[in-house]
Amino acid sequence: GLHPRHVQRLIQTRLPKRIQQLLSQISSVADEVGCSVYAVGGFVRDLLLHKKNLDVDIVVEGNAIDFARRFADQHACRVRAHEKFVTAVVIFDDGYKLDVASTRTEYYLEPGALPNVEEASIKLDLYRRDFTINTLALALNHDSYGELLDYFGAQRDLHDKAIRVLHNLSFVEDPTRMFRAVRFEQRLGFKLGMHTENLLRSAVEMDFVQRVGPLRLFNELTIILNEENPFPAISRLEELGLLACLCDQWRVDARVKESFRQAQKALHWHELLYTGSPVERWVVYFLCLSQPLSDDAMAAVCGKLSVPQRWQDILVGERCRVMKVFHRLERDQQKLAEYRPSEVSQRLKGIGDEMLLYAMARTHSDAVRLAVSQYLTQWRDVKPLLNGDDLIALGVDRGPRIGEVLALLRDARLDAEVSSRQDEVDFVRSCQMSC
């Protein structure tokens, strides 16, 4: 195992100053309160793997809420306490969040149910975790700063690049761990341990996934689909029989694979342009996965996973309409270059970014892709220079006519028929004359 000095060195060289400072603040408060405090979980795992992870989770041998309040008394932050779970979130002025938990064990009333919480020692706290690689605790008190608690062979498994559960009933206790196992395996480039894979396969066989509440399933799936490149994990889920547990019509064939590849390209392109509006990556990939599904099948899987209503409306209702819009664009692709920007904008108006990116990923037409990219980057946000008040001053009737003339002006601007303010004024006057 790593020597504390080595770990201290990792902290100094690998972590931003902000996080180093946070750790030493925690250290001071821990000594003051007189209880042991540890950083745990993914943060410690990623520190040892030299991977960026700024989400610090700490565990307090004592009461987390008292600790968090004490911490907040001394620093610019506030506390959100969860009495039921004896946990707290410390929220800093800049929005940064620190999760504080009390050492505890959880017991499960039945497979798939949410855990109950009881106070216990750090070792038991670590024992309830999903995989050995997530069971490291890093001591933060001054005297022990940098010591690693490694009760379950975490460092060995990090070295072996193995995902292993802590005990045989792990997947039975909480079947969502099967999805987590695949996520960590693919993200970290690790491999499920042989015994762990056998346990997983038999839990799939026994249909334990069906015992998990839909929201928890949705949660695990979206975390996977939000990864930078979710395809390998989706493909692995299929191979293990887990994808079919979510939706028996989801398949990973060559077409779906190609859609994922194109979707990743489209998302990457969209990210680079930074339009200021972040997209929900998972929605784009969810659409790729559901390509062969009818609307009814799509509605069924959305229901089964309790996808939030506003996304269900898009995934089920919008999808069909938008695909028709795109079929028409593809049919007209020869002429598309001659279309006026206002015509293209008219057709794409109101379609959300996720659906546009999906359609971009799906289309085989370069002309259509170009039109959509111009719409997203140049045309969508075009506005006239004049506003409603200006139109009233020019004698346009109050009421719906204002909106109509603004829309005409916008189209004229899109199609470069007006450029200066005076052009717009002249345009409005000619509108007034013609009606």
- Residue 80 CB, nearest approach to ligand ATP (Å): 17
Taking CB under 6 A as the criterion, which residues in 46-65 touch ligand ATP? Answer: 53, 55, 57
Using CB under 6 A as the binding rule, whether residue 87 contacts ligand ATP is answered as no
Bridge-based pairing state of the strands 191-192 and 162-163? parallel
Footprint of ligand ATP on 22-41 (CB under 6 A): 41
Residue 174 touches ligand ATP, criterion: CB under 6 A? yes
Nearer to ligand ATP by C-beta: 41 or 146?
41
What's the angle, vertex CA 41, arms to CA 39 and CA 45, rounded to 5? 100
Q: Interface with ligand ATP by CB under 6 A: which range of 173-181, 190-198, 309-317, 384-392? A: 173-181
Asked whether position 150 contacts ligand ATP by CB under 6 A, the answer is: no
3-state SS assignment for residue 151:
coil
The stretch among 16-24, 128-136, 346-354, 378-386 that binds ligand ATP (CB under 6 A) is: 128-136
Task: Give me the phi and psi of 420, to 5 degrees please.
Answer: -85, 170
Distance CA 156, CA 169 (A): 22
Check binding of 176 to ligand ATP (CB under 6 A). yes
| Residue 129 binds ligand ATP, judged by CB under 6 A | yes
Q: Which residue is nearest to ligand ATP (CB)?
A: 42
Site string for ligand ATP, 373-402 (x = CB under 6 A): ------------------------------
Structure tokens at 290: 């559901």
User: Does residue 130 interact with ligand ATP by CB under 6 A?
Assistant: yes
Show contacts with ligand ATP in window 234-263 (CB under 6 A).
none
User: x/- site string to ligand ATP, residues 88 to 127, per CB under 6 A?
Assistant: ----------------------------------------
Nearer to ligand ATP, 176 or 333 (CB): 176
Phi, psi of 88 (to 5 degrees): -145, 155
Residue 309: count of CB within 10 angstroms of its CB: 9
Q: Give the whole-angstrom CA distance, residue 44 versus residue 40.
A: 6
Pairing outcome for strands 148-149 and 162-163: unpaired
Regarding 413 and contact with ligand ATP (CB under 6 A), the answer is no
Tell me if 136 sits within 8 A of 123, measured CB to CB: no
Of 170 and 345, CB closest to ligand ATP: 170
Smallest gap from Cβ 109 to ligand ATP, in A, equals: 15
Query: Does 134 contact ligand ATP by CB under 6 A?
Result: yes
- In the chain, the amino acid numbered 1 is G
CA–CA separation, 35 vs 26, rounded Å? Answer: 11
Pairing of strands 57-60, 77-82: unpaired
What span, in angstroms and rounded, lies between the C-alpha atoms of 20 and 299?
47
How many residues belong to the site for ligand ATP (CB under 6 A)? 11
Among 104, 164, 177, 281, binds ligand ATP (CB under 6 A): 177
Among 4, 42, 153, 241, binds ligand ATP (CB under 6 A): 42
Q: What are phi and psi of 342, to 5 degrees?
A: -65, -30
Q: How far apart are CA 222 and CA 64, in angstroms?
A: 29
The nearer residue to ligand ATP, 181 or 329, going by C-beta atoms, is 181
Rounded to whole angstroms, the Cα distance separating 365 from 327 reads 10
CA distance 221 to 301: 12
Catalog residues that contact ligand ATP under the rule CB under 6 A: 41-42, 53, 55, 57, 129-130, 134, 174, 176-177
